[in-house]
Amino acid sequence: MNPPEPKRMLATVTEQFARTARRTGLATPGPGVLEAMARIPRERFVPAASADRAYDDAALSLACGQTISQPFIVALMTSLLQTRPEHRVLEIGTGSGYQAAVLGELVHEVRTVELVPELAAAATAQLRALGYDNVHVQTGDGARGWPEHAPYDGILVACGSESVPPSLLAQLAPHGHLVMPLGPRDAQRLVDITQDDAGVVHTRDVLGVRFVPFVRTIEARHERFVTPRGIGLRAFAATEAQAFAELALALASLVADPAQVQRQRRVEFACSAAKGPQLLARWLDEVVWAMARQDLVFASFEVRLRGDSLRATGLGEQRSAPRGATVEPRRTTVLDPTVARDADGWVAQCTVES
Ligand code: SAH
């Protein structure tokens, strides 16, 4: 007779440790790790469609294009953290919640952050149902960590990033381990990072891995600067559409403070043009036109880009009295719009001739 499925999975994990020992430096899983995994019904964390594969040593698909890590990788990352029962650990990328449950078996408290609200909700429900009261799930961008409860004795990141988010390093306790997939998507390495008393960071390469990407969400913001031709405006955002919206907001803020807008009126915009900067120019013209024709002050814009066309909504109000206007919208001319990708997202820029 074949061994029951969970036993077979743990046997495979053990074999994998032996096979990779020279690279990982670990011939066997850390104390208690296999026992913890043996207590967790993994089928409760995988979608019903893959339930028959719950105990395969394989990564499985979750909703929203995400994956639940391969059991060997879960065991390896957990072992690298060198957990102790009194530890408090942080996980980034809750996904199904399975890794968090493994950690929950081993340490005093687990905090885990997931970007996708649906996944965070499903994981929370599952962890509650199984009684993991020491595991706390938060929806949000893991690049921030969970500063309110830092420092952590260990941090496990379950999504691949090209660089170590500085907030995570800042939230790691002295001598704690930060275990994460690092590097470009097709050449990711699992690394074990520690920081000594002097604050010197040590990185140990463990194994080649393949994780889903660590999604960078940068908060939209804009800045003004002076150019020979007028006022320069530059907007940064995670997506091209958000960069368009943010640049329009920067333009609107030349006329009045968007934070002062109280009564909100919707204005619909639509335009099209051949290329990115041309479409941006058309969009900014539309905004200037709306401000001038209707004497509107905008508090926000929502832009949807589809190919060469743009649909947007602006929320604003009629300007009853001048609110410290610096530029009269009627005379606003937008010059040199540019839009480009950078490492973290999108940058849209223009000059306003006044
Ligand atoms: N530990 C999980 C596997 C996670 S897969 C498990 O045991 O099932 C990686 C997860 O990281 C995905 O759910 C993905 O949505 C999440 N993720 C990606 N970028 C993120 C970010 N910036 N902040 C938080 N979670 C993120």
Q: Which of 165, 163, 340 is nearest to 155 (CA)?
A: 165
Structural domains in the chain plus CATH codes: 4-208 (3.40.50.150), 221-353 (3.55.10.10)
User: How far apart are the CA of 68 and the centre of ligand 1, in A?
Assistant: 9
64 and 116 Cβ atoms separated by less than 8 Å: yes
Distance from C-alpha of 40 to C-alpha of 51, rounded to nearest angstrom: 14
Looking at residue 213, what DSSP letter applies? Answer: B
pLDDT at 322: 54
- Shortest-distance Cα residue to atom 13 of ligand 1: 95
- Report the nearest atom of ligand 1 relative to the CA of 102: 7
Please tell me the distance from the alpha carbon of residue 254 to that of residue 22, in angstroms, as a whole number: 61
Q: Look at the block and give the residue holding tokens 């990033």.
A: 161
Q: Which of 69, 96, 161, 253 is catalytic?
A: 69
pLDDT for residue 344: 67
Q: How far is CA 227 from the centre of its chain?
A: 34
69 C-beta closer than 6 A to ligand 1: yes
Q: What is the pLDDT of residue 203?
A: 94
CA 192 – CA 206 distance, rounded (Å): 7
CB 286 within 8 A of CB 269: yes
Arithmetic mean of pLDDT, 60-71:
85
Nearest CA to ligand 1 atom 17: 93
Residue pLDDT, tens place only, 180-233: 999 988 899 999 999 888 878 899 999 999 999 998 777 789 999 999 999 999
> Which tokens in the block code for residue 278?
């041309």
Question: Given the CA of residue 45, which atom of ligand 1 is nearest to it?
Answer: 8
Look up residue 113 and give its two tokens.
């952050």
Q: What is the pLDDT of residue 218?
A: 74
| Rounded distance from Cα 59 to ligand 1 centre (Å) | 13
Query: What is the value of pTM for the model shown?
Result: 0.72
- On the 0-12 / 13-18 / 19+ scale of CB atoms within 10 A, 189 is middle
* Lowest mean pLDDT, pick from 96-110, 143-157, 289-303: 289-303
CA of 93 to the centre of ligand 1 (A): 3
Chain centre distance of CA 29: 30
Mean pLDDT of the 345-351 span: 92
**Total residue count of the chain as it appears in this document:** 354
65 C-beta neighbours (distance < 10 Å), count: 8
Task: State if residue 112 touches ligand 1 by the CB under 6 angstroms criterion.
Answer: no
* 66 Cα to the center of ligand 1, angstroms: 7
Q: C-alpha distances in angstroms, 27 versus 13, 20, 32, 321, 328?
A: 11, 8, 15, 74, 71
Judge whether residue 329 has pLDDT over 90: no
Q: Give nearest CA residue, ligand 1 atom 10.
A: 93
Output helix, strand, coil percentages for the chain, rounded to the nearest 5: 35, 35, 30
pLDDT digits (tens, 9 = 90+) for 260-304: 877 778 899 999 998 889 999 999 999 999 988 888 889 889 999
CB half-sphere exposure, 325, CA atoms < 13 A: 18
Look over the chain and give the mean of its residue pLDDT values, rounded to a whole number: 91
Ligand 1: centre distance to CA 161 (Å): 11
The band of 132, judged by pLDDT with boundaries at 50, 70 and 90, is: very high
Largest CA distance in the chain: 85
Please report how the helices 71-81 and 98-106 are oriented relative to each other, as an axis angle in degrees rounded to 10.
40
Q: Alpha-carbon distance 149 to 34, whole Å?
A: 28
Rounded CA separation 266/248 (Å): 15
pLDDT at 325 over 70: no
- Check whether 65 has a pLDDT greater than 80: no
Which sign, positive or negative, has the C-alpha torsion 320, 325, 329, 331? positive
Ligand 1 centre distance from Cα of residue 39 (Å): 23
Run of H or E residues at 170: helix 166-170
79 catalytic per annotation: no
Measure the CA–CA gap between 42 and 93, rounded to whole angstroms.
17
Looking at ligand 1, which atom is closest to the CA of residue 212?
Answer: 9
- Extract the tokens encoding 310: 């743009």
Q: What is the pLDDT of residue 295?
A: 83
**Which residues partner with 340 through β-bridges?**
347
The answer, yes or no, to whether residue 141 has pLDDT greater than 80, is yes
The pLDDT score that the predictor gives to residue 328 is 54
Q: Is the CB of 271 under 6 A from ligand 1?
A: no
18: Cβ contacts below 8 Å, ≥ 6 apart: 27, 28
Q: Residue 211 in contact with residue 188, Cβ under 8 Å?
A: yes
Cβ of 143 closer than 6 Å to ligand 1, yes or no, is yes
Contact 353, 285 (CB under 8 A): no
Question: b or e along 165-180 (b: 16 or more beta carbons within 10 Å of the residue's beta carbon)?
Answer: beebeebbeeebbbbb
Ligand 1 mutation target, pool 70, 99, 112, 116, most atoms within 8 A of CB: 116
Which ligand 1 atom is nearest residue 119's CA? 13
